Amino acid sequence: MCRIWMYLFSTVGVLFTPGMYHVVAIEVFTSKEATAVNGTSVHLKCTFKSTKPVSEKSASVAWSFRSTGQIKEENFFFYQEIAYPPQEGRFKDHVTWSGNMLKNDASITLQDVQFSFNGTYSCQVRNAPDVHGFAGEIHLQVVQSVKLSEMGILAAAVGGAILLVLLILSIFLTVRYCRRKHEDTGMELERSEWKQPGVL
C-alpha cells in the first residue's frame, strides 16, 4: 500500500511541477468485447503507447470493474514492478498478471470466471510524465458452460440417428433396385420365350 500512495503523490507532484506547461497523453488499446464460458479462464488484453521510455518503475497499470447495470467502479488490481492482486472480494484468487510493461502490455487473466464477473473492465496505464489518457474498456459476458459429457451424448445421439436413417434408406433403395432388376429379368425371359418357336 505504501508503494501505491507514493506513486499517487509522485503523480500529483508531476502535475503541479513548475515549468510543466503541457501533459502528454498515453494511449491505451483494448478489445471492446470478450466472452468467457463459466468456470474457464479469459485473457483481458490491454496494450498501450507512450511517448516516453517505459520502465518497470515509471509505468503502472490499474484495473477496475463495473458490474452490469451499475455505475460504481471497483478497483481490484494494480501493477508497478510487481503485481498487487486483490486480497478480498469477488476477484480474490481469480486474477493473475499476464502482461509485460517493457513490451507495452498491461494484460491480466481472469481464472475460473463466475457469472458475477459480467460487466465492464477498465485498464488505466500511467508512464510518468504520461499520466493522462483515456482508459481502455472491455465488456465481458460470461455464458453458461456445457459439460463435455453432455456434448458427447448429444453428438452421439444426433450422429446415431443420422446413421440409422442412412442405413434404412440404403436398405430400402437396395431392395427396390433388386426387385426392379428381378422384374426386368423376368420380363426379358418371357419375351425371349414368346419370340422363339416352340420345340415339339
Q: Across residues 153-168, what is the average pLDDT?
A: 81
The full length of the chain comes to 200
Name the DSSP letter for residue 105: B
Q: How confident is the model at residue 17 (pLDDT cuts 50, 70, 90)?
A: very low
- 107/185: higher pLDDT: 107
pLDDT, tens digit, for every residue of 108-137? Answer: 999 999 999 999 999 999 998 887 888 999
Q: What is the pLDDT of residue 58?
A: 92
Q: Which residue, among 112, 124, 119, 122, has the nearest Cα to 140 in the 3D structure?
A: 119
pLDDT over 50 at 74, yes or no: yes
Is the CB of residue 135 less than 8 Å from the CB of residue 122? Answer: yes
Is 121 in contact with 65 (CB distance < 8 Å)? Answer: yes
HSE value, Cβ hemisphere, 13 Å, CA-based, for 96: 8
Cis peptide bond upstream of 129, omega within 30: yes
Query: Shortest CA distance to 129 belongs to which of 18, 14, 8?
Result: 14
| Most confident among 40-49, 51-60, 159-168, 173-182 (mean pLDDT) | 40-49
Residue 188 vs residue 51, higher pLDDT: 51
Instruction: Work out the pLDDT band at 72, boundaries 50, 70, 90.
Output: very high
pLDDT at 191: 64
Edge-to-edge strand list for the sheet holding 59-67? 33-37, 136-143, 119-127, 59-67, 74-80, 82-84
Which of the four pLDDT bands, split at 50, 70 and 90, describes residue 32? very high
SS3 46: strand
Report the pLDDT averaged over residues 102-113: 97
Q: What is the dihedral of CA 91, 92, 94, 96, to 10 degrees?
A: 110
Cell 426379358 locates to: 188
> Which three cell numbers mark 86?
486483490
Which of 93 and 177 is assigned the larger pLDDT?
A: 93
Predicted local distance difference test score (pLDDT) of residue 64: 97
Q: Which of 101-105, 113-117, 168-172 has the lowest mean pLDDT?
A: 168-172
Q: Note the pTM of the prediction, 2 decimals.
A: 0.62
**pLDDT above 70 coverage of the chain, percent:** 74
- Residue 62: phi, psi to the nearest 5? -130, 130
Please tell me which residue, 8 or 28, carries the higher pLDDT value: 28
